[in-house]
Amino acid sequence: MAKKFVRAIFPGSFDPITKGHLDVINRGIKLFDELIIAVGNSPLKDPLFTLSERVDMIKPLVADIEGVSVQSYDCLTVEYAASVGATAMLRGLRNLTDVQYEFQLAMTNRAVAGIETVFVMTSEEFGFTSSTIIREIAALGGNVSNLIPQQVYEKLQKRLSEKGLQ
């Protein structure tokens, strides 16, 4: 029997991408033939970086990971998944709060679009981080350089300075 090709997406706002996200990507690609980092535009969020800036920040971070690519989308995640032929969605879990929310989302996505969700637990060292928390800490002058890649940290510092948030 021929091996089935499995394309998955890892959707998120990635505003900014964290070392926790990269941890999930590095472990998640081992489960799929292809993994698309799907950078979304959520109407409910007020992003610090534009969609194209987020894509541009992520591309060099995953350039050396075979089978991983980065794309942006501006529609329902399940619609985007169908448009690229993805049969699975990768999601990272940090804590019990994530489990409850992600379980509900996975059940809805499967019922609405027939797409399966695969969960990967974030490494313990990143279990408390989120892009939102990182932005808040950085805006208040805290050092988040150990939670995000150096080049992302530099862009974050610059953007917060431009906005007068430091």
Residues serving a catalytic function are 21, 45, 94, 131
- What is the residue whose two structure tokens read 């208040």? 140
Query: Residue 13 belongs to what H/E stretch?
Result: none
* Structure tokens, 61: 């971070």
CA 101 to chain centre: 16
The letter for the amino acid at 92 is: G
- What is the residue whose two structure tokens read 């090709």? 5
Q: Which of 55, 64, 4 is nearest to 32 (CA)?
A: 4
